[in-house]
Structure 1
């Protein structure tokens, strides 16, 4: 986990800044763009949460998927579910790269606690409009600790560990590109950012 944090800190900071520079909680309209970004990201990585191999490595993997919460938020806010943002882009990664992608997506839930407080200022909460920002019943901290323990418990050789680090780097780079697409409606996005 410390290697994952160290290898992604710069690109992680870049993503945080890029999102916050767009003032996602300045208004419900801004928040809607943020929701669209989150939906495109979760939709792109949906297969991560359905894989049996990953499920054997990460506890409660299928229940960690937030896509249904996002769809409910769109409905709450009378927003239309976004169309496919990425033409012909399909998630593809090795098993160990996928662990790196999961690290990025699951890690975003920790920051969601702060974002949920901002959403409350817009009248949104875990039961209306900001469901995807809500923690699980067991709590964000315990879910993240379990995820970290699952990663630490894996026996990875040097190449597998490097693949995991590469996957996390690729996920952050992709997420950075996706911010541009979601907010600017650029025509295409390529997933080949590793």
Structure 2
């Protein structure tokens, strides 16, 4: 589905609503990857492997310092998990609105990280032991920053299609990463040391 802002009847002054409506199908598919949350070491391992791949690709697309993928790499190392290779070549996008669409998806995941963190903490993981990414991402301010940027962008006459396309591309990639990561969990996986 290649939805445009015009097809959504988008109000150019409410870009958050446009993005929410224009990505709801893909967002639901991502949520379905972890319908039962991260209540087991296997589910958490799948999440970490997939999220690390997504974060590494995300940082390439928006030309960011590899901060998120670094945190995730530390978590992978702590759990003895190998990173997932890319499934293609990603490149930097020069379109600022498209990058903002990608950032909307990654920053929005910090809201879910708050809930997911509680689940992995109940398994015995912590910021210092296997849950660095979730702890730091949940505490970050990127979501507020993205909302401010969307509000500042709302008054523009530029079409919102690149913004929506960036968000849809990001959701499609994270779904693919989580689907692929299901096949990368070692049989010998153990939970955190007691």
Cα distance between partner residues in 1 of 2:47 and 2:84: 15
Deviation of 1:157 (Å): 2.9
1:89 aligns with 2:89: yes
RMSD over aligned CA atoms reads 2.4
Deviation of 1:102 (Å): 1.1
Deviation of 1:44 (Å): 1.1
- SS of 1:19's partner is coil
Superposition TM-score, scaled by structure 1 size: 0.75
Cα distance between partner residues in 2 of 1:110 and 1:133: 10
Measured against aligned partners, the alpha-carbon deviations of 1:92-147 in whole angstroms (never above 9, x if no partner) come to 5333212111111111111000000000121001121011001469x34x442222
Larger CA Rg, structure 1 vs 2 = 2
Cα distance between partner residues in 2 of 1:107 and 1:13: 14
User: Could you say which residue in structure 2 is the equivalent of 1:170?
Assistant: 169
Cα distance between partner residues in 2 of 1:184 and 1:13: 21
Superposition TM-score, scaled by structure 2 size: 0.75
Cα distance between partner residues in 2 of 1:176 and 1:79: 20
Following superposition of structure 1 onto structure 2, how do residues 1-194 of structure 1 map, counting pairs within 5 Å? Answer: 1-20=16-35, 24-26=38-40, 28-50=41-63, 62=65, 65-80=67-82, 82-86=83-87, 88-93=88-93, 94-135=95-136, 139-140=139-140, 142-154=141-153, 156-159=156-159, 161-184=160-183
Deviation of 1:149 (Å): 0.6
User: Could you say which residue in structure 1 is the equivalent of 2:187?
Assistant: none
Cα distance between partner residues in 1 of 2:84 and 2:165: 29
Deviation of 1:151 (Å): 2.2
Unaligned runs of 5+ in 2: 1-15, 185-194
Cα distance between partner residues in 2 of 1:19 and 1:100: 23
Q: CA contact under 8 A between 2:117 and 2:134: conserved in structure 1?
A: yes
- SS of 2:182's partner is helix
Cα distance between partner residues in 2 of 1:172 and 1:136: 18
Unaligned runs of 5+ in 1: 52-61, 186-194
